Each structure stands twice: as C-alpha cells, then as structure tokens.
Amino acid sequence: MERLTVLGAGSWGTTLAELLANKGFDVNLWVRKEELRKAIAERRENSVYLPGIKLPENVLAISSLEQALKGSEMVLSAIPSHGLRAVLTDARHFIGSNAVIVSATKGIEEGTNLTPCSIIKEVLGAGSYRDTVVLSGPSFAKEVSLRLPAAVCAASASHDAATLVQSVFSTAYFRVYTNSDLMGVELGGALKNIIAIASGISDGLALGHNARAALITRGIAEISRLGAALGANPHTFTGLSGLGDLVLTCTGPLSRNYSVGKAIAGGKTLEEITGAMRMVAEGVRTTKAAWSLAGGLDVEMPITEEVHNVLYMGKPPKKAVMELMMRELKSE
C-alpha cells in the first residue's frame, strides 16, 4: 500500500488525509474547487474546513480525478451523500479493479433511499473494484485532527478488507475495530443525525437532560427497528457506530446536526440555517429519506416522523414535542 486517495476536502476528508500522511502514506487529496486546492497547496492548510492544522508535504492536493486516482490501491470517499453519485460517475473510469473503496460518507441518498455503499456498488458496478469498507463511529474531525483519542469501526462483508483498513487507519489516538455488519454500521452513522437534530431542538427549547436522555434511548430503538427491517444486526446499534455516534452527535456542540436543531428551536428557518453553513448537515436530507424508507417498510419511527414534520411540513417544534409525549401509551 503506497498511495491512497481521499475524495473530498471537507473537514473529515482533510483530517483523514492528514492522519494517513502522518503514518507515512503518500495521500492524494481530491479537492473539487481549484481555489481551495491552490490554497491548500500553498499554505499546507485547509483554512476553510480545518483551520489551524498543518498538512504534511506528502498530502498532495489535486483537482483532477484522473490524476488523484491513478495507481491508488485504496480510495476513501468523504463526499457528502447528495454529491456522491455524481463524483463516482466521473471517477469510475479511473478506479482500479484492485482498489479497496472506503466509505466515510454518513447519509442516505434522497430519492433512491440508498446508503453510500449501495450507491458505490450501483455506480461502479460489482467486480470493478476489490471490496467496500465503511469507516464510521463517534469522531468529530476537529478532535481527531488534534490527536485526541477516538474509536471507530471498519465494517465490511470481507474480513480481509476490514482488517486491512483497520491496520491502515489505526494510530495511537485513532483506534479502529472491525465489524462484519456493513449495513448496520452505515445506517447507524446516517440515522443518528436525525436524532441529533431532535436533541438540538430539545436543548434549544430548554427541555432538560431528562428529555435528551429519552430522545437518545428511544432514538436507538427506532434506528434498530429500521435497521432490522433492512437486514442489519440490531446489536450493531449498541456499538460505536450506533450508540457511540448517537451520544456524541446528540450532546456535542461540534455536531452540525445538533446545531441545526438548536437553531430551528430558536426560530430560524431551515433555509436560513443551511444557507449560512459551509459544511453539510447530513441529517437534513437523511430525515426525508429515512421517513420515506420507514413508510415503505411500515416501520414505526415517531421521532424521525416529527423531525420530518418540523423540517419539511412547517410544524412548530413545541407542538412536535407535545405530540411525541402524548402518543398512545405502550410497553418499552
């Protein structure tokens, strides 16, 4: 493993490129915008998405997909879910058949309701690359870039591919566990963002710690229900990519989705919030996709439904909370 490619120069893609480069790998960092690419190359810093972190010389910022992917044995996707299909469509002719694709994208594609790995398989075609691995877990990019301890998991149907990614990404501050439940790990990373929006709304309304704890706990319950309906192992959602990631995004001020919820509770519109954000809050689009999936599979997801109602149906947050509390009584 000599050269790796990171697609996407947002905070997470840049953080992982820096981590890999510090381990001695040559890393091609594909940057969509030429202006940002030049700035990274000249200043050795992504001042837009990861300010204050010096990038090693062996991180090469590139705007050409062909140049970035040439000869790479491992390709990490850190593209937002809504842009993944278009980037892969342009990139597919340059990805080698021996390449391991690592997905660090957390979301569900609106319209198709596909997870990132399903999009990868559909666009690239089965057999055109070696294996797919999901890298997911509780990990704010800023903290990882500061080398604060974090633990995530590498999930794949291929044990060899998962252990390869584990060895490539593991450091003294970034611990990687393997997992065989690719679907469960992907869903945990995507669906927790919806509950984080709800948590932000709850905190923005000053509903207290009891309410937040209830949201996290019942959030795991409905995430597990949808996961089971899609063939995931329910136990996966008690792990790093489920409960771990959920707790982080529901309580941490660095969470973009939590921040969206707080702003909504403060009276801002979704358009105002997303229009002012440089980075993507995946939960906004994932809410619509998960709501659609749950309806099609007849899976009960009351928190997701109320977040959808607040984001897209104009429902007042306080009314959504009240209706959640006044639902028919039942056993846990």
Residues assigned a catalytic role? 192
Contacts of 152 (CB under 8 A, 6+ apart): 135, 136, 137, 138, 139, 174, 175, 176, 177, 240, 241
The continuous run of DSSP H or E covering 140 comes out as: none
Rounded distance between C-alpha atoms, residue 133 and residue 103, angstroms: 6
The continuous run of DSSP H or E covering 130 comes out as: none
The continuous run of DSSP H or E covering 181 comes out as: none
Letter for the amino acid at 304? T
Rounded distance between C-alpha atoms, residue 59 and residue 1, angstroms: 15
Query: In the structure encoding, which two tokens stand for residue 87, read together?
Result: 């980037």
Chain-centre distance for alpha carbon 43? 27
Residue indicated by tokens 């569900």: 108
Backbone angles phi and psi of 83, in degrees to 5? -105, -5
Letter for the amino acid at 229? A
Query: In the structure encoding, which two tokens stand for residue 179, read together?
Result: 């997992």
Report which DSSP code applies to 328. P
Rounded distance between C-alpha atoms, residue 108 and residue 116, angstroms: 7
CA angle 237, 240, 241 (to 5 degrees): 60
Query: In the structure encoding, which two tokens stand for residue 71, read together?
Result: 């000869």
